[in-house]
Amino acid sequence: MEEDNNTRTVSSTTTTTTTTMDPKTGFNSISRTFQTLRPPLNLPPPHATISAATYILSLRHKSPFPSSTTLLIDSTTSHQLSYSNFIQRSKTLAKNLTLRGLTKHHTALILSPNIFQVPILYFALLSIGVVISPANPISTTSDISHFINLSKPVIAFTTSFCGKLPKLKLPLGTILIDSPEFDSLTTEEAKDDISTTAVLPEVSQSDVAAILYSSGTTGKSKGVMLTHRNLTATVAAYDAVRIPTESPAVSLVTVPFFHVYGFTILLKSVAMMETVVVMERFGMGKMLSVLERFRVTNLVVAPPVVVAMSKEGVTEGYDLSSLKSVVCGGAPLGKDNFDAFKAKFAQVSIIQ
């Protein structure tokens, strides 16, 4: 197959068909789809063996910031983790999980709120080709059973506050990610003769990276499979519009990491070498306090938060002068609500 900006040629052993793509709309008469008129993204070759985690971490080098830059901040404890420490912990966890029998194409069910350990776990699993299957930690036992039937996990990761998983009999059991055991898995390599020679599997871009669950508006929740290539392309789109900054952006992500919105924002933030403030439970007052205390520049929310912030008196008494942009997604934000927010925060950009 050969193509330029205006013509696409499809060849086979018997026929050759040429069609002119409309240069104004991008409509392709063969596929009957609209193709983007924007320049192509700078993606790895399709058949290159590279995980989404490896690709995302490689984009850090486009930023001028050192590896000592803070990646994660726990909004409750103020505990911080640098990029270098994050990468080392993810690598150590990946090796230890491999030695426990977790390998490429296995699926891991994750039931957790937004806590410090989740990004470390995500990147460790992605790097060894294990499919991430995150779900809402307050799901019912019936819903969790349905998720398990869909994704067939061999292991589960959850927190000590979730009492629904210990009853499950998964091949590799359940690990509490807020436990000393998990912490040691991220910091201490297994005392095993093969631990230094364990070979991590190669990951193809066509391999499934994650199974996320739909909201179930047309029936039961469905498992939506995303490949490593899907995640790579998503992050590459953010990278294509990257704006250089003098200091790392500080992002407060209030949406859950188990949702595709929070999941992709997290991946993007790592690639852009931002500092991510992690807030386990949402509360308007708590959020505003965190914005002020950590001088947050980028707020990631759903529309109801934008609506609430626009109301008179809600943000009174908080210094939000550091805030530069609000990313609003998960549902549409009405024009009236958009205008009301801009009237109150003229200096803040809203990105939908």
pLDDT-derived band at 87, boundaries 50, 70, 90: very high
φ and ψ of 41, to 5 deg: -75, 155
The per-residue pLDDT for 140 is 87
Average pLDDT over residues 261-282: 96
Pairwise CA distance, residues 158 & 43, whole Å: 34
pLDDT of residue 119 exceeding 90, the answer is: yes
The residue ranges of every structural domain in the chain are 2-34, 52-68+81-232, 244-351
Single out the residue of 53, 60, 39 nearest to residue 232, CA to CA: 53
- Answer yes or no: are the C-beta atoms of 118 and 258 closer than 8 Å: no
- For 130, the 3-state DSSP assignment is coil
Average pLDDT over residues 8-23: 48
pLDDT-derived band at 214, boundaries 50, 70, 90: confident
Q: Which numeric CATH code is attached to 244-351?
A: 3.40.50.980
- Answer yes or no: are the C-beta atoms of 120 and 89 closer than 8 Å: yes
pTM of the predicted structure, to 2 decimals? 0.88
Average pLDDT over residues 212-237: 91
Average pLDDT over residues 258-276: 97
pLDDT of residue 17 exceeding 60, the answer is: no
HSE-CB for 342 with a 13 A CA cutoff: 10
The per-residue pLDDT for 218 is 78
Q: Mean pLDDT score of the chain, rounded to an integer?
A: 89
Q: Amino acid letter at 93?
A: L
pLDDT tens by residue, 142-199: 899 999 999 999 999 999 877 665 567 899 999 999 999 999 999 998 765 544 556 7
Fold of 52-68+81-232: Rossmann fold (3.40.50)
The answer to which of 17-26, 95-104, 321-330 has the lowest mean pLDDT is 17-26
Pairwise CA distance, residues 157 & 166, whole Å: 10
Pairwise CA distance, residues 187 & 290, whole Å: 28
Average pLDDT over residues 110-133: 97
Do 52-68+81-232 and 244-351 show the same overall fold?
yes
pLDDT of residue 20 exceeding 50, the answer is: yes
HSE-CB for 40 with a 13 A CA cutoff: 7
The per-residue pLDDT for 162 is 74
Q: Amino acid letter at 48?
A: A
pLDDT tens by residue, 296-315: 999 999 999 999 999 989 99
The per-residue pLDDT for 141 is 87
pLDDT tens by residue, 231-253: 999 999 999 988 889 999 999 99
pLDDT tens by residue, 30-81: 888 888 888 888 899 989 999 999 999 999 999 999 999 999 999 999 999 9
pLDDT of residue 16 exceeding 60, the answer is: no
Other beta carbons less than 10 A from residue 334's beta carbon: 12
pLDDT of residue 14 exceeding 50, the answer is: no
pLDDT-derived band at 108, boundaries 50, 70, 90: very high
How large a percentage of the chain has pLDDT more than 70?
Answer: 91
φ and ψ of 304, to 5 deg: -55, -30
The per-residue pLDDT for 4 is 38
The per-residue pLDDT for 32 is 85
Which residue matches tokens 């999980």?
97
